[in-house]
Homo-oligomer: A and B are copies of this chain.
Amino acid sequence: MGPLAITFGLGILGVLFAFWLAQDVLRRDQGTPEMRQVSSAIYEGAMAFMRRQYGTIIVLALVGSVVVGIVIAAVEGNTGLGISTAISFLVGALCSALAGFIGMYISIQANIRTASAARRSLNEAVQASLRGGAVSGFLVVALSLLGVALMFVLFGGLADPARAPFQIVGFGFGASFVALFAQLGGGIYTKAADVGADLVGKVEANIPEDDPRNAAVVADLVGDNVGDCAGRGADLFESTAAESIGAMILGVAVYALARRANLPNAEYWIFFPLVVRALGIIASGAGLLIVRARDGENAMNALNRGYFLAAGLSAIFMVGAAQYMLGSIWFGLAGLVGVLTSIAFVYITQYYTAGTWRPVQEIARASLTGPATNIISGTAVGFESTFATAVSISIALVASYWMGVQGVAALGLPVAGHAAGVFGTAIATMGMLMTAAYILAMDTFGPITDNAGGIVEMSHQPEEVRRITDELDSVGNTTKALTKGYAIASAALAAFLLFSAYIDKVNEVLCKNAPIDRVTGLPDLVACVRPVAQGGLGIHLLEAVDLAKVNVFVAALLGAMLVYLFSSLAIRAVGRASQTIILEVRRQFAENPGIMAGTVRPDYGRCVDITTRAALREMVAPGLLAVAVPIAIGVALKHEAAAGMLMVGTIVGVLLATVLNNGGGAWDNAKKYIEAGYMKNPDGSVIGKGTPTHAASVVGDTVGDPFKDTAGPSLHVLVKLLSTITLVLAPLFIG
């Protein structure tokens, strides 16, 4: 069976598996009428948001695809390429939107089933929520795989596998484009609703969280879905798509040499990323199916067992596929590095954001002296967490690069060291992303259990039900944090291969059909030499992004600045949108005293609607900035500078996202640490809720909200957007 058959077969199997999971969730019971009332309010709100948001996004994507197609056709003087880029852009955008939409639809059906199952057993609740989340996870990975594979076949990959990967970069750009707006819009929505509901409910009206009298409470519950499920789904859709395409482009260089050396199955170098992704679906599915929570056990352990099975199977599949398809154990080892990196990030994130370790406890203790020291301490923790992140990524890159070089040397292929090394890092990224479906299932588990808790709370269920949903909610907080660590690490690894793919693409454009060869007299130097218009010989040196050039340095500085400016706009958008909600809730309280008395139901729908419109309005400015600035820099400062912007923007984006995600998570859990009663006076009495220390920790938690749920995750998307924009628009930047 050929690699493409495996790819399509397992990809379709992944989609079918997602539908089977959806059926499995939907056939479960939907609890009491009271529960259904709450759930249907969430459902209506979420669907209203999704319809409006994806309506906007699809219009933007249509415009985007036409513009991109025209630009490429004009710059390259090749109408066919313009059309193929526009089509792949649009298909990428639509696949991403489809995966997000269906995943969301099931996610908001799973919350009521989870709430209802919690009345019976922990295990049933875990299964309802995890499988509900897995629908999104498997659809994202399978649709991304099928979309890339389909585009590859459509644009002649069977006839000329070396050319097709360059034709389908538009798919990744389309996916990035949707992800940018899905994550930004969802991130702004979720935190605007959260902050707005808290400020007007807990602070002003002095009613507890998830109180049905708060008109913003449904918007808040909807928000968890649109941020974590739809947003992160689009984020990882983009990662897997861009990584597959980038790795195929890198495979082309090896393929060409393997063919010249008359090795059998040279095209396997190009198909390998697709096959590995397909095998990852199987590994993730197996992990998912074994999850069973024993009574009295922490649900996190059950999820971890599934994850370790998925990771273990991924490792075995990876080594086997590398051995069979590429013929050297070294490539399998490079893939293992990726699997290990994903495990490392699970632990790094836990260390920085879980109450069992030093960082969160340090923030909790700093709350003793008030909100200021809480904030200072959390900032220090966020900054510190870049260390483990950067070192892990560095080790993974250097090790897998070295293994790639060893692998090619072992095969005796005449491949330049750099191309082989970069291919090694690409395999590590594939290894890291093999468990993506499982990780996404754990992530979407988060909003489902959070919503289930809200439903239980609002429908006044007994204490023991609430205990189960509370535990699941807290596990969900951990899995949401883990996913962010995983997403940023995979973005960083993927970025390196996407840079390299960009440079290959630039070479492809610059060299056209000219031979790429060593420069006479310079043994280490490879260049292509081709006739230029003036009649002389144009010589283009390959693979250099020279930061010492002033335009490259300036572009790098501006790329780094873009990360901060974008974050500033995203953070500020939350503040503005939340003001809108506060005004609406105040209005409802004022105009209808029955709401506060509990005799009249507030107008939840209006709050959802207002939040939706505010979030969509606010996502426009940062979204356009993220698209326009890289293009402007590339056009003004040219292709080498665009690479500098891309690389340094990525480094800064990865680190700042780490700071924002981990700082935010640590603040959140420092508050929970205090609420759980772990903070004590010297005499042993608990410093808990209601104390100034707890109030200080609430300030930190509120500050962390837009950091970890809006700006941080949006930065994941931004760094990948930089890659895909430059990859697609490379011809425009070559002056």
Contacts and interface: CB of A to CB of B under 8 A. Distances in A.
Given A496-B550, A521-B519, A372 B558 contact: no
25 contacts: A203-B370, A371-B371, A371-B372, A372-B700, A375-B699, A375-B703, A376-B706, A379-B703, A380-B575, A383-B568, A384-B568, A386-B560, A386-B561, A387-B561, A425-B550, A499-B548, A519-B519, A519-B521, A522-B539, A525-B541, A544-B548, A560-B655, A564-B655, A651-B652, A699-B699
A600 interface: no
Contacts of A199: 369-370, 373
Most chain B beta-carbon neighbours within 10 Å: one of A492, A522, A561, A644: A561
Contacts of A548: 418, 499-500, 503, 543-545, 643, 647
Contacts of A558: 390-391, 394
A451 to B, nearest CB: 24
A730 to B, nearest CB: 14
B398 A561 contact: no
A19 interface: no
Interface string A382-424: 0110110111011001100100000000000000001001100
A71 interface: no
Closest 4 CB pairs of A and B: A390-B561, A372-B702, A383-B568, A384-B568
Contacts of A659: 564
A513 interface: no
A560 B545 CA distance: 18
A366 interface: yes
Contacts of A348: none
B394 A565 contact: no
B556 A651 contact: yes
A568 B385 CA distance: 9
Contacts of A375: 375, 699, 703
Interface string A681-720: 0000000000000000011101100110000000000000
Question: How many residues of A sit at the interface, in one of the four size bands?
Answer: 35 or more
Interface in A226-283: none
A557 interface: yes
A15 to B, nearest CB: 36
Nearest to A203: B370
A599 interface: no
A648 interface: yes
Nearest to A552: B547
A373 B700 CA distance: 10
A199 B375 CA distance: 15
Contact of A565 (B384, B425, B547): B384
A214 interface: no
A558 to B, nearest CB: 6
A127 interface: no
A659 B553 CA distance: 20
Contacts of A703: 372, 375-376, 379
A76 interface: no
A40 to B, nearest CB: 32
Contacts of A206: none
A658 to B, nearest CB: 9
A383 B568 CA distance: 5
Given A523-B539, A565-B383, A659-B564, A421 B550 contact: yes
A521 B524 contact: no
Contacts of A391: 558, 561
